[in-house]
Amino acid sequence: MKPVRASRITTALETGNIVRVFQDCQMQHSEDKSKAKCMERITADSFWHFDPIRLQANTAAINNMAAQLNLAFQEHGGAHFNEMSIDHRGLYWCGDDQVLEQLAVMAVATGKMRVVGFRDSWSRLPGGRPNLELLV
């Protein structure tokens, strides 16, 4: 897969932008994963493998999109995964959990976001999903 140039991807918080960046960063089945950045998924017990060079090239876009999330994510302790569907203006922008998860996992991979708490405590939270905190 030919990498998308990061400069061509707009950083508006939109489903299409997140999917394009995710597809660019994710390693394909045919690629050697020995140098991949392996990230645990939020909604499944599996991993996504990111190409570290393409992830680095898209870091600004990922971080800019994550920064447009609900302002509650910037507070100490963050906000629940389900609140990712609301942007910083309080507007609903996405209802697709897979897209929300893609942004969250990429933001964690770039260091823009962190998962609050341990995975074994998520079962006590709504939908078995964690709180996430934006690191500003």
Q: For the whole model, what pTM was predicted?
A: 0.89
Rg of the chain, C-alpha, whole Å? 14
Amino acid at 120: D
pLDDT at residue 119, rounded to an integer = 84
| Dihedral Cα 121, 71, 13, 98, nearest 10 deg | 10
In the numeric block, the tokens 């140039």 are attached to 5
Is the predicted pLDDT of residue 101 greater than 70, yes or no? yes
Cα 77 to Cα 98: distance, rounded to the nearest angstrom: 23
In the numeric block, the tokens 């990230």 are attached to 39
pLDDT at residue 7, rounded to an integer = 47
- The domain ranges of the chain are 6-134
**34-91 pLDDT per residue, tens:** 999 999 999 888 999 999 999 999 999 999 999 999 999 999 999 999 999 999 999 9
pLDDT category of residue 122 using cuts at 50, 70 and 90? confident
Phi, psi of 81 (to 5 degrees): -45, -40
- Is the separation of the CB atoms in 50 and 98 below 8 Å? no
For residue 116, what are the β-bridge partners?
131
pLDDT at residue 10, rounded to an integer = 66
Q: What is the CB neighbour count within 10 angstroms for residue 23?
A: 14
Q: How far is CA 43 from CA 24, 37, 90, 105, 122, in A?
A: 21, 18, 24, 10, 11
Is the predicted pLDDT of residue 32 greater than 50, yes or no? yes
